[in-house]
Amino acid sequence: MKIISIILVILMIVGFNSCHPKRPAITPEGGYVETGIASWYGDEFHGRQTSSKEIFDQNDLTAAHRTLPFGTVLLVTNLDNGRQVTVRINDRGPFLKDRIIDLSYAAAKMLDMVGPGTARVRIEVIGFKKGEAAELKFQGKYILQVGSFVNQENARSLFITLQKDFPSVYISQYQSDSQVFYRVRLKADSENEAKEIAQRLVRAGYPVLLIRE
């Protein structure tokens, strides 16, 4: 009887667990959309290993999501101000139930949500890419990114707005897995020049991502 009882208990445990499977990773198919609250993380975790075994760099455009596979590329839109940024999933989180994504400091800066700490966002899967995204190289230069758009006209509009005061502005086209991005950028020849341009842009109300090449 004891043996039968033990078997029944085991069967009950197995049956219970089968009714509560772990949530599977979502296939990174274009068109997947999720809305909710985003938060960000930065200096405290800078240089530490992420769940994907990459080293976290707060200045990279990356993010943490609970289920999306590592390498998933997302278009994140701040629903409060309309600003957008593209990020690649390389970590797991957030661990607070009311959050759907944790953005790197750089991504949060592009969305103008560093100060508030959180923002209402829409995230949309637009591709998949393993490893670091390729960047346009300018040996010994500094690059300041002011915006990244899937709509070429939006990038063109920002380019025209900035061209008068910032002659070095240009549009860099980047091809992801299945999506083209139009990134509005400026070049600087020195760190001092880059900081000066960044300060002018911030005073004018633009988010700025500084990239050292």
Q: What is the pLDDT of residue 207?
A: 80
pLDDT interval class at 211 (50, 70, 90) = confident
**E strand or H helix at 71:** none
pLDDT in tens, 70-85: 989 888 999 998 888 8
> Which CATH number does the domain 142-212 belong to among 3.30.70.20, 3.30.460.20, 1.10.3720.10, 3.30.70.1070?
3.30.70.1070
**For range 139-163, the mean pLDDT:** 85
Q: How far is the C-alpha of 165 from the C-alpha of 107, rounded, in Å?
A: 25
The reply to whether 142-212 shares the fold of 33-128 is no
Mean pLDDT across 190-208: 84
The Cα–Cα gap between 163 and 143 comes to: 16
**Residue whose token pair is 């002011």:** 146
Q: Which CATH number does 33-128 carry?
A: 2.40.40.10
pLDDT (tens digit, 9 = 90+) per residue, 88-118? 999 999 988 899 999 999 999 989 899 999 9
Dihedral of CA atoms 187, 132, 134, 149 in degrees, nearest 10, equals -70
Q: Which two tokens stand for residue 47?
A: 């240089």
Provide the total of helices (H) and of strands (E) in the chain, helices listed first: 4, 10
What are the domain boundaries of the chain? 33-128, 142-212
Q: Are strands 84-91 and 62-64 parallel, antiparallel or unpaired?
A: parallel
